[in-house]
Every structure is written in C-alpha cells, then in structure tokens.
Structure 1
Amino acid sequence: MPPPTVGNTWLAGRHFGIVIDAGSSGSRVQIYSWKNPIAALHDEGERVAHTLPKVEKGTQDGENWSYKVEPGISSFADHPGDLTAYLRPLLAHAIEYVPPSLHKETPIFLLATAGMRLLSSGEQVEILKETCDFFVRHSDFKIDGTSAAGPCGNNIRIITGEEEGLFGWIAVNYLMDGFTGSDRTTYGFLDMGGASTQIAFEPDKAHQEDSSTLIDVRLRLLGGEEIQHKVFVTTWLGYGTNQARERYVGMAVNEFEASRTDNSDDVVSDPCLPKNLELTEHPVHLGQTAEHAKQAHHLIGTGDFEQCMNKSSTLLNKNAPCPDTPCLMNGVHVPHIDFSVSHFIGVSEYWFSSEHVFGLGGAYDFVQYERAASNFCSREWESIVLEHEASMKIHRNAGDGEVEGKDGQIVEVGKWGPEVEIPRLQMQCFKAAWIANVLHEGIGMPRIIDSGGNATTEGERVVEQAESKGLGKKPTFQSIDTVDDIAISWTLGKMVLEASKEVPPLKASDKPIVDPLDDIPDKENFPIQPIRPFFDVLEDKLTPHLPPSLHRTSLGFNPALFLFYLSVFFIMSLVLCPLRRQLRAACLRTIRGVAKRDTDSYALEEGQFLNGNGSAMNGNTSSAPSAFRKWLRRVLPPSLRPSSRRLVRNHRPPVLSISGNTVRDSQTTPTKGSPVRPAADWTGGMVTSMSSSSSIISRSSSPLPSPGLVDEFNASSSFTRSRTPSQINSTMVPRSISRVGSLHELHHEE
C-alpha cells in the first residue's frame, strides 16, 4: 500500500532515494529519505546548520524499507533476457513505498559489486543494458541518460571495490559523528566480504603529502559550508574470507603432496577446522601440477587456533615487492597509519565472526577474542553440532532464544541465534584466525597485550595498557552492524552523498558536490579507474586490429575511449561548422541588444525604413529560420528538402504620390520587355527616384520580379515622420533605394 500523501507531516518536504545493492549472492533494494535541506534549515535553524542532512529509512514506521531477491544479478550472464522477472519485485517494492507524486524526482541506483566484476566485459554490457531498459520502460524514477558510464549513466553501473570503501567510510563517519564531532577526527573503515577486503581512512596531516593516492571527499553541511577530507582507499581481491579459505586449502594440499608417501591416504590434517570435523575439499588455487594434487582431498580438523594463525598468515604475502613504500599486504601501498590517532570501524565479516558465534561484537579486545577462538576450535565437532541443534530448537519455540520459567525469569538462553548455520560453524575457526591476521599482521594494528599474558589478563588491565601506549580509552578497533537502528552499509554512504548534493552552496561559484571518483583532477593517471565495460568491449574488438604502439599498455589509456571522444568532437564539428555564421550573428545580436534603442533611432534619423520588428531593413540581414533551411537543404536529399521560396501574391503594391497635402494612389504597369532583376538583387524594397521639378514620388521603371522568384521577400511597410509641420506627418511609403555612386540617397523636395 503506498504511503498517504495528504495531511502527513512526515512526508511534507521529504525527498527519497533508492539504492539496489546488486551483490554476488542477491540484490537488495533499500529506500532512504531525508527532509528537503532548505526546509530542514528553516525549521531547525542554526542548531542543524553545521550538520549533514539527516538520512533515514524510507518508510515512516521503519519497516519494509528494504527487500531482497536471490540469486545475484551476475548469475544471468548466460540468459540476460530473464532479468525482467528478476527485477520486477525489486521495482514493485520501491513503487509501493515511494509516493507516486515524487517518482520523477526520486533517483534510483542499481550499483553492482563483486559478482559483476568477475564477468567478462561482454557479459557485463548485456546485463547492464537489459537492466537499464527495464527501469526506463517500467518506472518514472529519475535516471540519467546515456554517458561514458553506461546506457543509464551513473544510475546503473558496476562500482569498484574502492568506491564501496569510500561510500562505507562516509556511512561510518556519518553515523559516528566523525564529520561533525568536536574534534572532527574521522574513523577508518574496514570491510571484509567473501571475495575481498577494503580499507579507507584519512591519514593524519603529517602523512598527507602523498596526494597522488588520496581522494577528495567533499560534502556540504545544511548551512552551506563545505567540508573536505583526503581519504586513502584500497582493496585486496582474494583477501575475503571465502577466497582466502580456498587459497589456504590449495596451500595445505601442496604441502601435503610434497611430503606424502606412495602408501599414504589423501587425508590432510587441518588445524583451522574444529577437532575431528571432516570435509572433502577440491583445491582451486596455487596451480597444483601433480596429479594427486588436482584430486579431491579429505581434510580433518585438529582444532589448533595458534597453529591456524601461523599457517594462514603466509597468505598475507607480506614479502611481496613494494614499489611504493610503505606497503601492507601483497605489496599494496598504504600510507602510514598512526593508531594513536586513527580508530577503525569494521563491518560485515568483522561483525559476523565476532558477534554471531563468540558474542564479542563491539569494542575489540584481542585477549578475549583469542581466548574465545581457541576454545571454539579445540572443541569436538560433534558437541558443536549438538549445541547448535539445541539452540535452534529453543529459538524455534521461543522466537527470541529465551526460555522463561514459571516466575517469568529467563532460565535458558540459546547460545547461537538463527542466523548461525552449520556452514558458519564449520568455517568459524579459520575466519577468526584470518580476521585476526589481517588486523594485526596485515594492517599492523597493535595487539595491546603481549602474547604470553593473555590467559590471566583482566579487562581493566587492557584499558591501563592501552592508555600507557597512547591509545586512550577510545577503542582502536570495534566491529559494528547498526547505529541508531540504521545498518552500516556503503548504500547509506551513497545516499548521504546524494542528500548533500541538494544543499545550496554559500556562493554561486562553489563547485557542485559530486561522487569522489568524479572529483579527481588527473583521472587518466590515477591508480583507481572506474569500471567502463562498454569501452572495454570496444577495446577488445579494436585491439587485434591496432599496432602494439596503440594498445592500452603502450598508450597508458583506453584507445576506445579516446576514439569515442574523438567521434563526439567530429560530430559536433559537422553540426556546428555550417552554422558558424549564424552562431556568430546570434552572438553579435545579443551583444548589440543593449544598444538596440540607439540603433533604431539612428535608422530613423537617416531616413531608413524599419521592418516589422523595429530593425533597419537592408540587404545584408538574414534570419535564423532562413539559415536553418539553407543548412537543411545541404544535408537532406532533394526529395526531403524544404522549399525556400514563397510565392508573391499576384498584385502590384500601390504607388503613393504626394501633391501638396494630398496623398493619392496610382498604378504603374511594368514596361513590356523590361529586364527582370534576379531575386538575389531584391532586398525587400524598391528603387525610388524623385524629380527635382515635381512633388510626386513614383516608382522606378524597374518592374517587379516574376511571382515565385522572390526569395524571402517581405512587402511590409513602416512609417517615416517629417520634422516640419509643412510636411506630411505620417506617410506609408514602400522602401525605395536609389543607387547613386554606391550611396543610398533620398531626395526631398524643398
């Protein structure tokens, strides 16, 4: 049911935005809303002038603001025609909860992530094109036109991992008051999924000299003030928990095959699985060459968390060459991080692995985290399964996992919530070790407590040692899922940016707020490039036909993109070149418009006649419609060319004779055989001669041209005014020109 639109104060002056997060496992539509920035500033006053627009859930009751469908959009690579049925429920949900009167001004974004990045350029193009066509045909939501980003511009496209990190960084600091707090110290952002992990943070002032790798993030507060932060962001593909596990299995199988004997079974001991858990794994990484290594292997858990930490840490590839120091994992350059100043928020897998199984979400304490992980890994897998079954039974019966006694007190609580399933418990030991390794060995976050004192350390001692190391009471790292009932998501950061774009600037000369990657001065040489599959497809087709010197590797840029801009320039030249004279004339008319009154007065004083719009008539004027028709005649085939000549009515205009104070008409007949002046010589007037011995003004003997030969002839008349009472005050006289010595002379009888 659509929201009510009449008498609803919540909807008054409210704007909406829609984001579809098209991930690898599913697509989720999320509706956000915010008050009109001008109205919010007017209602709240100076109290909110130094804050960002308040972005909320897009439904008044906070329910049904999101809706998810499965599988991921990338699964339609082989049959993009089926996308219509897949996208229809997502669009229907947005249409239902956004007021119909606001559809045309509500932007909708479908931004695809990791799953779509793994497809070929051709597959990406087909999916994006079908998706764009669907939303344009079936909705009135605000969607960009075709641009370099794709058929629907920036509204439907694939975003990079770095863009995810930037939007997530905005979301975290928006919810944690990092932009508007008293100290204006922003939080760093960490995100880990199944395929990749990202980091985004603002280096301290002393380490911002390397501006070539920093991105300007600009936002506008409600009062019009612009805030700007220089943010570093990078992503590590293959460093998400699922792909890290695949690489780990490949490494373990390689080590096993290197030390195996001919009689040994294909059973690999795995310290990263709970004790006695058996799994069958197929190595997919590290390029196994031995025949045995390519086959499935049985892994059996030994449940040793410390050994799991040691073995999985080699996957960080800390010894990779570092061309631009300093580097973190895999030789990727990252500016120096001062953990005494920079504090980080972790989302997604950082939260799931800490909270869902261990119950340790929030402020991170490595001592407690390591203890919980060690206890879990060392448990027998059979006991874990039994506890999971008991927990699910309690949650099914009580709904929230709590069992009440006769007196209303809680007597039993399910250890794990319904979101914890068997696959999560199987991989929990490895994921816990991988997260700890990424935080401490990969990013370099201090453990605070030295290893060896972990078993006896109390929480108070943790705080004391943190303060002694200059870290303060503010936790260096904490995992968070929601703040004020709003989930931390890169989609929220995107909407905060869109709401900020609507705030009027303090000065008209201020630059508009744009997406961070659109604000890079030297885009071609920046290490982060937006995903443009349409040009990649064109490049794939062009590259085999180009010499190596014109390939991307030699040029340093996409040759297809260069050809696109060259084509646009060529087409614009073809269109504008024939109209250059008319454009110049239009510019001159605009410039001279200020002096129009003086020009008209000058024309009257010189005895020139004015046409219908008050301009002096002469032989050099040309109208824009006439010029446009001439241009059309050049570019169109003869059958489609517009006619440029108008038939002149078959009558002769009257000759006005003046005698004394009497005006009389007379008709003159063209002399038979008189030469006909070409149409190009006629400029809208007629030759006039005056006799010095007569007071009669008559037409020249030159006859009118034949009907149909006058090009743009206009027989309009104007008035001339005498300056003395003895002359006629107002006389309608056709324009006449006497060519005497290349000058126009008008003879008056004294």
Structure 2
Amino acid sequence: MKERYGIVIDSGSSGSRIQIYRWEDSKELNSNKSTDDLKLKSIPQIYQEESWTYKTTPGVSTFGDKPSKVWDDHYEPLIEYAEKIIPRENWKDTPIFILATAGVRLLPTKKKEKLMKTICYEVGKESKFKLDNCADQIQIIDGETEGIYGWIGLNYLMGQLDNYDSKNSNHPSYGFMDMGGASTQISFVPNKKTEIEKHRDDISTVYLRNVNGQTQQWDVFVSTWLGFGANEARKRYLNQLINLLPERNNPSTDDDFNTLKLTDPCLPKNAKYEYPYQGFTYNVFGSGNYEQCLKTTYPLLLKNLPCTDEPCLFNGVHAPEIDFFKDKFVGVSEYWYSANDVFHTGGEYNFLKFSEKVKLFCESDWSDIQKNSANGDYNNLPDDLLKDACFKANWVLNVLHEGFNLPRIDIEAKMPDKVVEDFDNHIPFQSAGAIKGSELSWTLGKIILYASSQIKSNDDLKVGIKPSDNEVKLENKKFIPGGIGSKSSSSERDYETLHALPIFFIFLIAATGVYFLLYKKSSLKNFGNLITSNISKIKSKINNYRYTRISTQEISVLEEGRSEAQSNGTSSRPQSPSIGDNSFAGLRTRSLINLNQGSQGQQISSNENSFRPKKKFSSTSIIFRSFKF
C-alpha cells in the first residue's frame, strides 16, 4: 500500500515544533475490495511515531529584525530532522505547512510580511518537500482557525469522525477548550439543532471527506478571548491589586523610593517574588487565602460588560447555549497542567475534589510546598510555576464555572439519572494532555484536512473551513482550503523567480566577458574593472528583488481586520517576550472591547502554550481513535 506523508510546523512565540504524519493512499484503499467498510466511511487514518516531533527555539518572531538568518538558525534543523524520517522517494510528494501563531502576529506589519516572504523563499529553495503555494502553505493563522484545528484533532482521536453517514443528521462530537498563556478558546457543535439555526451567523462549517468520497459537514462555533489566558490574567490580576494600593493614589515624592509591598491572596503563605510595573518594583508576599483569591479573580472575567446578542459567556462575547448535561468537553493546555502536575486530578473533572486540593495547596506554607516539591510531588516543576499554581487553578475554576457556566455537579445541580442516549457514562468536562499516547495538537487537525482533501469527491463540496457569516462581514475572512493550491496559482513556487535572478546575472556577466575576449581583447582589463565596480550594485539588485518581488500575490494573513496585538490561545512557560500595550481585546471583531487596566505601558506577552517538560509518550505507531476516558 502506497504511503503518504505530511509536515506541519507550529511556529509559535517560544519556538517552532515540527510534526510529521503518515497515512495510506486513499485512492488505493478505496479501490481495494478487502478494505474494511468502517475505513471507507471514515476520514483517512493518520499515523505518527512518538519520535516524529522536534522543536527549535527561540520563537520565529525573534527573526523579525534578521530574516536572512531564519533558515540557517531556525528551520534548517527541522527540515533535516524530517529528512531523516521521511523516505527520500516521498520528499517531492510530501507537503509542508508552516503555520505561524502568536509571536509573528505581534510583529509590525512590514517586518511580518518580510519575514513570511523570506521563509517562503528560503524553505522553497533549500527544502525538497512539496511547496506549491506559499499563500496556502506558509501562513499566519488566527486563534479561531487554531481552535477549529484543535476541534478536528480532538474529535478524530475520540473516534467521532469515524463511520460518518451524511444521511444521519445525529453525529455527536466533543467540545474543545484550550487555555493558553495569553488567550483561552472554545469550539463546539451546539447540541440542539435549534441553537445552530438560531445562531447560524456565528457558526463556521467544517468540511472533511471520507475515504469513500463522501463529505462530512460539521457546524462548529468557535471563539477566543485575548487577555484571558493564564499568564495574561495573572498580570491583569496583579495590576488590579497594585492600582488599589494607597500608594498608587498617594505616590511617594522621594525619587529614590521605587519599591513597594503587595499582599497576594493567590500566592501560598510566606512565598514572595518581585513584580515590575510602571517603573516600580513591587515585593509581592503571599497570604494564601483560597476564598479571597477566588473572589478577587472573578472580576477579571468582565461579566459586567453588556451582552448585545444574548446569550453571552464573558467579556460580552456571544455564544450559543451550552448544555453540559448533554455536551461533552475536553480541555487542554492549562486545564490539564493545573489539574495534573500539581493537584494530580487530571482526566475526569470533579469540582469537589479539585477545589479541595486547590484550597489545601493555596493555604499551605511555602516551605512545606518546597519540601513536597523536593520529594517529587509536583512533577519537578520549577519554583516560579509553583508560585503561580494557586492563581491559575482559581482562574480555571472561574473560567469553567462562571465563564462557561459549567454546573458544580452535586452542589448546584444534580446530574439527571438519564442523559442523552448517545453518550454513556456522561462526563461534562475532562482535561487531557494526550489521548492513549497521542499528543493532542491542533497540527493534527490541519493534516487531517489536507489528507481528506486529496480524496476524490462524490459531490461538489470542497474540503476546508467556511467561516461564519459574521466573520466574513466583519473580518473579510475567506474560505480556508483543506489542501494546497494548484500549480497554476499566481504564487506557485514563488521562490523559483528568485532562483532565476542570480542565474540571469551570471549569464549576463559571462556573455559580456565572452564579448570582450572575442571582440575587445584590448579592453579585457576594462572588463575586470567594470565587474569590480559594479558587483555591489548587482548584489543590491538581487537582494532588493529577493524581498520585494517574491510574488504578485501577498502572503495570506488570516488576521486581516484584527488587532495587531493578538496572540493565539496557547500559553508560554516560561512567559514569552512581551510588547507594550494597555489593553486587551477579544479576538472576535464583534467583541473588540478595550479592557482598561488603569495603566500605561501595560506589558502583554505574546502567546504560546505554557512550557512544560515534554513527557515521553508510550510507544505508538498510530494516532489512536475511538478512545474512551
């Protein structure tokens, strides 16, 4: 059976991670009479070995001022890693996708465009993998696109994309929640058909394709909240505490006095650290008060903002109704880190169990926490992450229960004896880092879209993501194709034009030399002087053309119409580089609401997933599906 490969590089703010995938040729599968019927009614089965991933640091955004080094110092090691895994005979047919998120999105427009063009040129020139269209394959993606990719990957792993029949309108799915450092996301298919129709303008449509050519169609709501990730919420929280201090209203007249004291109920007792803010350095001391921490973090949700289109979740952002007695959600990133690493409650969520452990931790003395850490109780987390754990756990509690309205089972509400028949042993929410050894990454969703787009269709539908009507109207967002552009595209192999430039100049010089040798021998010396005097001009022309004429079509930027200060929904541990700003804004244009911090020069970090030491997955050669927690 012929094998296909695909490469997705997640270029976030803390680094770029390559993910390599493999699947069987769907055309051969479809024509093989022995192929299992379940396979034919499902999207292609994706395989990945545990070693098929590799990361380079720092983030690609750090090359905004030195784009010429982005290949040698950043992407070359990733491509060389892929070449060791993918058989040489498959290179020319293996598509490569480089999808930039938080860090690049925060760069100034000119630097961002130049960097993306340079990546296109360098990867196209140096790599032997399939790069037909930079506009489709080398992109900056927004948080909502990332959220839908995550939804696709999750439901693939959970087996919800298997055995799909378009004649059956009842196909259950899992909702996807992701809390990063700078933003949090949610994507789900509303359980009630009436909710889908009622909120159709806010629903995106995902098209996938089975091996047998039948197209799957899913109505997915997705939204992201910038500034509501764990790291940025922590900064807003501390800034809020500082602005309530008497010293802020009665600043010292002593120019040499620049150290102030701050008491933090979300910091374990007797823990301390320094926090810089607006030219002052604050000594933060922990008071370890769980109840006070929970109450103090609640206002950060901005539930008080007006909701122009009911119902709303938080920060005035509209969303279809969520029925947690029927819907199932899986949370990743901080939902998993907070629960698993410190409190050992990852997996099925239990409010009482989780909140009790959070309270015990928050109100513990810092010296006791350090002793427990030395005994290996917290997965070897560094002290700075342990100091943040109390706040982040309380933030998770507030986002889940006050933000997304997840009921506190057995406290606020009783689970019905009989829940929807499609789900046995109903679990409204659970956290996960991996599913049966397979990493839950949004890059999986991207390669699933591509693999299914290569199958011949039985209808006129195209594989990809159709944005909601509101996104089209307000953000001018276009259909996101599942595959790559055709070779007739205006941006086809854009770097080939650049390849021709040096050859052209070499040919010109050689032809001129022959002319002087054959017809102007006496002027040979003048020819040498001519070349010497003009060599810098030739280099300048090559470089100028290299960066300004890559294609007649600009590199696609999916963030058109959005704030330049947006980042994706994954967190960064340690916190990623920051830029100056004094506001946060929801990623959805209809909810771009400035959150007044009562400050100037507010630091907003670019956003990537909270750093955690990579754990070895159990040996796996296939991305498992149909897995029940």
| In 2: Cα distance, 1:527 partner to 1:304 partner | 43
1:526 CA displacement: 5.0
Residue type at the aligned position of 1:69? T
Distance 1:374 1:301 in 2: 14
- Pairing partner for 2:160 from 174, 178, 189: 178
8 Å CA contact 1:212–1:526 kept in 2: the answer is: no
Contact conserved, 1:317 with 1:329, CA < 8 A, in 2? yes
Q: Which residue of 1 aligns with 2:379?
A: 417
Residue 279 of structure 1 contacts residue 299 of structure 1 at CA under 8 Å; is this kept in 2?
A: yes
- Say yes or no: does 1:257 pair with 2:246: yes
Q: Secondary structure at the match of 1:93?
A: helix
**Deviation at residue 499 of structure 1 after TM alignment:** 1.1
Partner residue, 2:464: 514
**Corresponding position: 1:125 with 2:98:** no
Distance 1:327 1:155 in 2: 35
Q: How far, CA to CA, are the matches of 2:124 and 2:375 in structure 1?
A: 50
Quote the residue 1:710 is aligned against: none
Equivalent residue number for residue 446 of structure 2: 494
Q: Does 1:449 align with 2:410?
A: yes
What's the CA shift string for 1:241-288, capped at 9, x where partnerless?
A: 11111111100001123787789982111111111111111236xxxx
Higher-Rg structure is 1
The amino acid that maps onto 2:392 is K
2:26 pairs with 31, 37, 40, which one? 37
2:185 aligned to 186, 189, 198, which one? Answer: 198
Is structure 2 residue 477 aligned with structure 1 residue 529? yes
Q: CA deviation at 1:428?
A: 0.3
For residue 338 of structure 1, give the secondary structure of its aligned residue in structure 2.
coil
Partners of 1:53 and 1:222 within 8 A in 2: yes
Q: CA RMSD in A?
A: 2.7
- Give the counterpart of 1:466 among 388, 408, 415: 415
| Preserved contact between residue 121 and residue 533 of structure 1 (Cα < 8 Å) | no
* Alignment of structure 1 residues 606-685 onto 2, 5 Å: none
- 1:191 corresponds to which letter in structure 2? D
C-alpha change, 1:224 and 1:450, in structure 2 (3 Å) is same
Question: One-letter code of the match for 1:131?
Answer: I
How does 1:276-287 map onto structure 2 within 5 Å?
A: 276-283=270-277
Q: Distance in 2 between matches of 1:230 and 1:109?
A: 25
* Equivalent pair of 1:356/1:417 in contact (CA under 8 Å): yes
Tell me the amino acid that sits aligned with residue 204 of structure 2. I
Task: Name the counterpart of 2:340.
Answer: 355
Q: Does 1:227 align with 2:216?
A: yes
Match of 1:325 among 310, 321, 335: 310
CA deviations on 1:14-54 (whole Å, 9 max, x unpaired) are 10000000011111011001101122342423232222111
Distance 1:535 1:95 in 2: 27
Match of 2:432 among 480, 489, 512: 480
Counterpart in the other structure of 2:566: none
- Equivalent residue number for residue 240 of structure 1: 229
Q: 1:277 to 1:107 in 2, by over 3 A?
A: same
Residue 429 of structure 1: which of 360, 374, 390 is its match? Answer: 390
Amino acid at match of 1:52: I
Q: 1:55 to 1:369 in 2, by over 3 A?
A: same
> For residue 95 of structure 1, what is the aligned residue in structure 2?
83
Residues 122, 533 of structure 1: 8 Å contact kept: no
Residues 544-583 of structure 1 mapped to structure 2, 5 A cutoff: none
The Cα of 1:67 is off from its aligned counterpart by 0.5
Question: What displacement does 1:534 show?
Answer: 5.8
Please state how far the C-alpha of 1:466 moved relative to its aligned partner. 2.2
Change (3 A) 1:469 1:527: farther
Kindly tell me: are residues 83 and 364 of structure 1, through their superposed partners in 2, closer, same or farther at Cα, counting changes over 3 Å? Answer: same
Query: Which whole-Å CA distance do the structure 2 matches of 1:66 and 1:128 have between them?
Result: 23
Gaps of 5+ in 1: 1-11, 146-151, 285-293, 392-414, 452-461, 541-555, 557-750
Residues 124 and 533 of structure 1 are in contact (CA less than 8 Å); yes or no, is this contact kept in structure 2? no
Q: 2:369 aligns with which of 384, 407, 413?
A: 384
Alpha-carbon distance in structure 2 between the residues aligned to 1:38 and 1:257:
71
Conserved 8 A contact 1:162-1:528: no
Displacement of 1:217: 0.5
Q: In structure 2, do the counterparts of structure 1 residues 426 and 67 end up closer, same or farther at CA, with 3 Å as the change threshold?
A: same
- For the residue of structure 1 that corresponds to 2:136, the secondary structure is coil
Alpha-carbon distance in 2 for matches of 1:47, 1:469: 29
Q: 1:195 to 1:262 in 2, by over 3 A?
A: closer
SS in 1 for 2:89: helix
| Match in the other structure for 1:652 | none
- Seen in structure 2, the aligned counterparts of structure 1 residues 111 and 431 have a Cα distance that, compared at 3 Å, is same
What's the CA shift for 1:220?
Answer: 1.0
Q: 1:422 Cα shift?
A: 1.7
SS of 2:98's equivalent? strand
2:196 equivalent among 178, 190, 208: 208
Which residue is 1:18 aligned to? 7
2:326 maps to which of 318, 338, 341: 341
Change (3 A) 1:505 1:259: closer
**Matches of 1:260 and 1:448 in 2, distance apart?**
43
| Partner secondary structure for residue 499 of structure 1 | helix
Unaligned runs of 5+ in 2: 165-169, 481-552, 562-588, 590-629
CA distance in 2, matches of 1:448, 1:310: 20
SS in 2 for 1:126: helix
Q: Distance in 2 between matches of 1:417 and 1:251?
A: 31
Change (3 A) 1:528 1:232: farther
Q: Distance in 1 between matches of 2:62 and 2:10?
A: 15
How far apart in 2 are the matches of 1:516 and 1:158? 17
Report the CA distance shift for 1:536/1:431 in structure 2 as closer, same or farther (over 3 A): closer
Identity of aligned residues (%): 38
Asked whether the equivalents of residues 18 and 29 of structure 1 are also in contact (C-alpha less than 8 Å), the reply is yes
Offset of residue 502 of structure 1: 1.6
Check the 8 A contact 2:325/2:415 in 1, yes or no: no
1:303 matched to 2:285: no
Cα distance change, pair 109–385 in 1 and its aligned pair in 2 (3 A) = same
1:188-214: CA deviation from partner (whole Å, max 9, x where unpaired): 100011111111011120101221111
Secondary structure at the counterpart of residue 218 of structure 2:
strand
Deviations 1:302-344 (A, max 9, x none): 1112211111110100111222222111111111112222111
Residue 300 of structure 1 aligns with an amino acid whose one-letter code is F
Question: Which whole-Å CA distance do the structure 1 matches of 2:284 and 2:476 have between them?
Answer: 39
**Whole-Å separation in 2 of the counterparts to 1:108 and 1:295:** 47
Identify which of 136, 161, 172 aligns with 2:124: 136
1:46 corresponds to which of 27, 37, 55: 37
Give how far 1:159 is off.
0.2
Hey, what's the Cα distance between the residues in 2 that align with 1:372 and 1:138?
52
The one-letter amino acid of 2:61's match is S
Question: Match for 1:226: what amino acid?
Answer: T
Structure 1 residues 309 and 512, CA gap change in structure 2 (3 angstroms): same
Looking at structure 2, the residues matched to 535 and 98 of structure 1 have their Cα atoms a distance apart, in angstroms, of: 28
The amino acid across from 2:352 in the alignment is V
Alpha-carbon deviation of 1:528?
Answer: 7.1
Q: How far has the Cα of 1:370 moved from its partner?
A: 0.2
Corresponding residue SS for 1:330: coil
Moved more, 428-437 or 222-231: 222-231
Q: 1:312 to 1:533 in 2, by over 3 A?
A: farther
Question: Partners in 1 of 2:215 and 2:555 — Cα distance?
Answer: 34
SS of the counterpart of 2:135?
A: coil
Alpha-carbon distance between aligned partners in 2 of 1:262 and 1:230, rounded to the nearest angstrom: 54
Q: Is the 8 A contact 2:64 2:111 kept in 1?
A: yes
Across the two proteins, how many residue pairs are aligned to each other? 470
* Equivalent position of 1:79 in the other structure: 66
